[in-house]
Structure 1
Amino acid sequence: MRSLVGLVLVGVIALAILSMKTQWEDNIGKTGELIPAAHAKAAPNFTLPEMATGRMVDLQTEARKQPIVFSFWATWCGPCREELPKLQTLSEKYRGRVQFYGVNSDDSLPDAKKFLAKNNLTFPMLLDDQHAAHNGYGVESIPMLFVIDTSGKVRAITEGYSVEASERLPKVLDALLAEK
């Protein structure tokens, strides 16, 4: 009887984990492609402090102004270290049309700031030390990048880093900006 109860408990936990993974599953299969607006899901909101200034950034408020690209990252993450310079370049190219953010939940503020300065990363970085955004988006691996449109919907998702996905991002952003 105990083994049956234990087995049921393991099953319930497994289902809970699988249901968390499926939050973006329909769209991750199309990694890096623009999700049609009719199929896009609402982006979970978060409000986090910007590392450099402490200014609170509310995702939905910022998204109403212009599309947003944000990526979850950490200093110890090799693929993140490859992706961040590409995002820096794109943040400069799309300045005034698309807002870029990094979201870090794994590093202390001093360590993250030191890393950003050393790597000349100047687009805004948000500190998610309570893992609110990380959990809200069901992030299980990093880097994980999201593109949010001005109606507050997730329009593209990239899990992990690849050169191909990095090269697709400007095409996604151009298509999204052309929708207006």
Structure 2
Amino acid sequence: MTRLRPIIRYLTALMCLGAAFLLLARSGLPDRIDLSQDAKASSAALEIGSPAPPFELMNTLGQAVALEGIEGVPTVINFWATWCAPCRQEMRDLQQLQGSRPDSVRVLAINMGEAADLVADWRSELGLSYDLLLDPALSVSERYLVRGLPTTYLLDSAGQIRKVYYGPVTYKQLDGDIQRLAQRA
């Protein structure tokens, strides 16, 4: 009987695995993902050197902020959330950047789907002076193909994407990249 136990366990595991595959096969999941034309166009628009997709969002003060109205200086667009641990330090670095270059860079931090009062409290707690924008429907986040937080885009003064940072970015990195942009102009 003891020699049969391993065989019985093996057969039981094999039957469970077969049942799982059968359920998966009948679940109606597609064999592959087919990108829609919108997604293809959106991903093509996010190449380095291409214009950043336009948007208009409300900030925590209830004012509309549009990307189109801020050409002329480099712009940092940061996607974040309050539950994102690396975002907290990154926001301090973004504040340092905005404070050190108040007239020569614009920082826009786009919150992904959280309540306005929570975002406003976060702004007060961290003492942030740059715009915190609200993306409640995640439409701008989708247009910018954000898949993880934080994600940051650096735009030149003409509104073209020059760099994308996946994960936390520091003051030193951004400041250096903005200096390099200024040297090219």
State the TM-score bracket (shorter-chain normalisation): 0.7 to 0.9
Report the count of equivalent residues: 157
Aligned to 1:55: 63
Equivalent residues in 2 for 1:35-46, closer than 5 Å: 40-46=49-55
Question: For the Cα contact (< 8 Å) 1:46–1:132, is it kept in 2?
Answer: no
Question: For the Cα contact (< 8 Å) 2:97–2:171, is it kept in 1?
Answer: no
Instruction: Indicate the SS of the match to 1:57.
Output: strand
Q: Deviations over 1:23-60 (max 9, x none)?
A: 38x97xxxxxxxxxxx51221111111212x2211112
Instruction: Indicate the SS of the match to 1:151.
Output: coil
Q: 2:35 aligns with which of 11, 16, 41?
A: 16
Q: 2:123 aligns with which of 113, 116, 129?
A: 116
Q: Deviations over 1:115-147 (max 9, x none)?
A: 111111121111111212101101011110011
Q: How far apart in 2 are the matches of 1:126 and 1:99? A: 13
Q: How far apart in 1 are the matches of 2:128 and 2:31? A: 43
Identity %: 26
Q: How far apart in 2 are the matches of 1:154 and 1:133? A: 15
CA RMSD of aligned residues (A): 2.6
Instruction: Indicate the SS of the match to 2:31.
Output: helix
Q: Deviations over 1:79-124 (max 9, x none)?
A: 1112000100110011101111110023100011111111111211
Q: 1:131 aligns with which of 129, 138, 147?
A: 138
Letter in 2 for 1:169: L
Compute the displacement of 1:72 (Å).
Answer: 0.5
Extract unaligned runs of 5+ from structure 2.
1-24
Q: 2:85 aligns with which of 62, 78, 85?
A: 78
Equivalent residues in 2 for 1:163-178, closer than 5 Å: 166-178=171-183
Compute the displacement of 1:155 (Å).
Answer: 0.7
Question: For the Cα contact (< 8 Å) 1:49–1:55, is it kept in 2?
Answer: yes
Compute the displacement of 1:177 (Å).
Answer: 2.0
Extract unaligned runs of 5+ from structure 1.
28-38
Q: How far apart in 1 are the matches of 2:74 and 2:172? A: 18
1:153 paired to 2:160: yes
